[in-house]
Chain A
Amino acid sequence: RKEVEQDPGPFNVPEGATVAFNCTYSNSASQSFFWYRQDCRKEPKLLMSVYSSGNEDGRFTAQLNRASQYISLLIRDSKLSDSATYLCVVNMLGEYGNKLVFGAGTILRVKS
């Protein structure tokens, strides 16, 4: 089982749609969770951290379910500029200490 699993997509949605991505992680001891965004041929950029109580940043809402080891990202009112790969990232304890483990990403394509 992969440490962080995501549906690779692609998710093809029209502008204005609401879309949700899911992510599961294997290590129940993980404490920190993030969503990164990666545009084509660019470096990943931090989109938002995910807090236990859930958090919202404009059109983006992140949720964490520790019991199910599940993280979600909801995007409302999708824009063309939201087209990107969304990476689920989990802090895990490695051999030498904590490290970030990246999922393979979910591709989102927003079309006009």
Chain B
Amino acid sequence: SAVISQKPSRDICQRGTSLTIQCQVDSQVTMMFWYRQQPGQSLTLIATANQGSEATYESGFVIDKFPISRPNLTFSTLTVSNMSPEDSSIYLCSVGRDLYEQYFGPGTRLTVT
């Protein structure tokens, strides 16, 4: 399995600001995903990060709120824009050779005050 790192590991941000989360993989991967895990809940897919093209967003998530970049096969960023307390969550990137077996980064714990 790939080694995945995320930065920052945690942050406390004020409402109205934006935070960019980085996901770095130690090898080239075809598929990268961004998930959100709200307190006490399971994971929800935000979007699939596509290399060289726009991300594909799931219902309920929009590019203006969660812009994603994927400049190459080992790196992606997720920005949480114009944050509100409801955005407080853990954000995780995952990678996979295919859709079916995914490996997760350690997550970014975001608190919005």
With both chains docked as a complex, state the minimum distance between the C-beta of A44 and any C-beta of chain B, in angstroms: 5
Contact across chains for B100 and A87 when beta carbons are under 8 A apart: no
Which of these, A32, A102, A104, contacts B100 with CB under 8 Å?
Answer: A32
With a CB–CB cut-off of 8 A, which chain B residues contact A96? 48, 56, 58
With a CB–CB cut-off of 8 A, which chain A residues contact B41? 104
Residue interface mask A32-53, B partner, CB < 8 A = 1? 1010000000111110010000
Which of these, A46, A99, A102, contacts B58 with CB under 8 Å?
Answer: A99
With a CB–CB cut-off of 8 A, which chain B residues contact A34? 100-101
- Tell me the total A-B contact number using a CB cutoff of 8 A: 49
Q: Is B42 an interface residue (CB 8 A)?
A: yes
Contact across chains for B100 and A91 when beta carbons are under 8 A apart: yes
With both chains docked as a complex, state the minimum distance between the C-beta of B48 and any C-beta of chain A, in angstroms: 7
Contact across chains for B106 and A43 when beta carbons are under 8 A apart: yes
With a CB–CB cut-off of 8 A, which chain A residues contact B92? 43-44
- In the bound complex, CA of A101 to CA of B106 (Å): 19
Which of these, B99, B103, B105, contacts A46 with CB under 8 Å?
Answer: B103
Interface residue ranges of B1-59 to A (CB < 8 Å):
41-45, 48, 56, 58-59
Contact across chains for A100 and B45 when beta carbons are under 8 A apart: yes
- Can you name 23 A-B residue pairings with CB atoms under 8 Å? A32-B100, A43-B107, A44-B92, A44-B104, A45-B104, A46-B102, A46-B103, A49-B101, A87-B42, A87-B43, A94-B58, A97-B56, A99-B99, A100-B45, A100-B99, A100-B102, A101-B45, A102-B42, A102-B43, A102-B44, A103-B42, A104-B42, A105-B42
**A contacts, CB < 8 Å to B:** 32, 34, 42-46, 49, 87, 91, 94-105
